[in-house]
Structure 1
Amino acid sequence: MMMVDNPRMLALDTSSQVSSVALCQGERLVAESALHLRSTHSQSLLAQIDDLLRAAGWGPADLDLLAVVTGPGAFTGVRIGVATVKGLAQVLNLPVVSVSSLTAVAMNLPLLRRPVCVFVDARKKEVYTQLFQLHDGFPRPLNQARVIAPHEALADLPLDSCFVGDGVAVYYHLILQHGFEPSARAPACCHPIQASRVAALALQDYFKGLAQRPEQVVPTYIRPSDAELNRQTNNVC
């Protein structure tokens, strides 16, 4: 697939209850929408994409590139986002850039000089977490993404870390108990993933030649699903 200098991009994230979709042309944001849903994203995502394209005066054929958050996050939400983008990419013959949810959350604090610890609630008394340092507005990982009990994640972090992600509110009491200052918590508006930030990350990777064919795009779960755990248990028995 031929690289475009100023690609028209559709970027989306469905890894949490917030469904975020953005249209960008190169670095310029054209349109963006975010919906906080109680129902699954499958009931509204295509309509959300269609409405945004219509508002921008674009059609699917105008797109040059797709970007999607592949996880970690809510298993069903991640699957819906990945499947939707793969389907569009196959029909439109477009390349896809995969973006980590943890990197996208860290991108919400682009000018911070302190280390950024992303805390995303993984349920089961665990968090998806990763530590980043921001360079020129973009997150650079300082360790591997992992799913872990929050107190274990907090034990080896620099005390000047700043926390961002939907798990921060859930485990804020633990953050304080481990000696972090109240100012270590990012404002609430910084916790959800914004598709426009996903697009900015994807554009960087696109120009690095890291775009994929649709069949190469897979979810990143980090831990196995309940169904997989049940199969493993049944096999052992």
Structure 2
Amino acid sequence: MAAIMKTLAIDSSLSAGSVAALFEGSAAERTFPVAGEHGRRIAAALAAVAGELGWSPADAELLAVVRGPGSFTSLRVGVTTAKAMAWANGARLLGVSAFEVIARQSAGPQEHGSAPIAIAYDAGRGDVFAATAVPATHSPTGWIIGAPGLYSLPTWLASLERGACISGPALAIFADQIAQRPDLLVAPRAAWIPTAIGVGNVAILRAAAGESDDPQTLVPDYLRPSYAHENDSRSSR
């Protein structure tokens, strides 16, 4: 679906990230392949992608951002940037689930389109943060996301039925363990990580259905509390 609004999209959910501009069937994207570059490069990258399409970030009518899951510092950079720009531009804001983005990328136009996709993020300490995306014709994006949960990797793998389709960033981290389940259907590697263009496409579909978020109330969905917060919580018990 072509963007009917000038759309800027941000994914800063992982150590690397990307931004994109979308409008009238055209898209431009920049990636941050080096960890920790979000805060330093995001403003210039947004200006660059908007400029490729002939407009500026101040012209954006829709700001799309991954609200989670993701790591504490990097995710906060993207969400804060999108909220600030939406306020400044008087633009609509949509926070989208990276699970939904990955589901659409993993399914593609033909593959797995009628089957659920189990998606996992590396949550550290040998755990994964995982959810299952289920095809749904009543959803603007064609998918609904089940409640995510934190699992040990062996528990998550054991829960997957033979022939299940899997995707997500954790697949790169736990390749050896996943290779021990050759009965699983692994999505194309390029689909494991959300892209800013994918984020924008999800937001465009949801915006067309009348959805939007309030910049005052949109908050990130973290993989787990920051270690500092966890330590504070333990010390207060």
TM-score interval, smaller chain: 0.7 to 0.9
Decide whether the 8 Å contact of 1:130 with 1:141 is kept in 2: no
Decide whether the 8 Å contact of 1:120 with 1:167 is kept in 2: yes
Identity within the alignment, %: 27
Deviant stretches of 4+, over 6 Å: none
Give the match for residue 103 of structure 1: 100
Give the match for residue 183 of structure 2: 181
- Structure 1 counterpart of 2:65, from 61, 64, 68: 68
Give the match for residue 225 of structure 1: 226
Give the match for residue 89 of structure 2: 92
1:204-223 alignment to 2 at 5 Å? Answer: 204-223=205-224
Give the match for residue 192 of structure 1: 193
Decide whether the 8 Å contact of 1:11 with 1:199 is kept in 2: yes
* Structure 1 CA distance for aligned equivalents of residues 217 and 145 of structure 2: 26
* Structure 2 CA distance for aligned equivalents of residues 228 and 106 of structure 1: 30
Shift of residue 109, structure 1, vs aligned partner: 1.8
Decide whether the 8 Å contact of 2:36 with 2:74 is kept in 1: no
Count of aligned pairs? 229
In the alignment, structure 2 segments of 5+ residues that lack a partner are: none
* Structure 2 CA distance for aligned equivalents of residues 17 and 205 of structure 1: 26
- Structure 2 counterpart of 1:41, from 38, 42, 64: 38
1:79-158 alignment to 2 at 5 Å? Answer: 79-110=76-107, 111-113=110-112, 114-134=115-135, 138=141, 140-141=143-144, 143-158=146-161
Moved more, 90-99 or 214-223: 214-223
Decide whether the 8 Å contact of 1:104 with 1:201 is kept in 2: yes
Shift of residue 172, structure 1, vs aligned partner: 2.9
In the alignment, structure 1 segments of 5+ residues that lack a partner are: none
Decide whether the 8 Å contact of 2:121 with 2:130 is kept in 1: yes
Give the match for residue 170 of structure 1: 173
Moved more, 52-61 or 68-77: 52-61
Report the TM-score, using the length of structure 2 for normalisation: 0.87
Write out per-residue CA displacement over residues 44-82 of structure 1, whole angstroms, 9 at most, x where no aligned residue: 111111111222211123211110001111111100000
Give the match for residue 14 of structure 2: 16
Shift of residue 142, structure 1, vs aligned partner: 5.8
**Gap change, CA 1:139 and 1:230, over 3 Å in 2:** farther
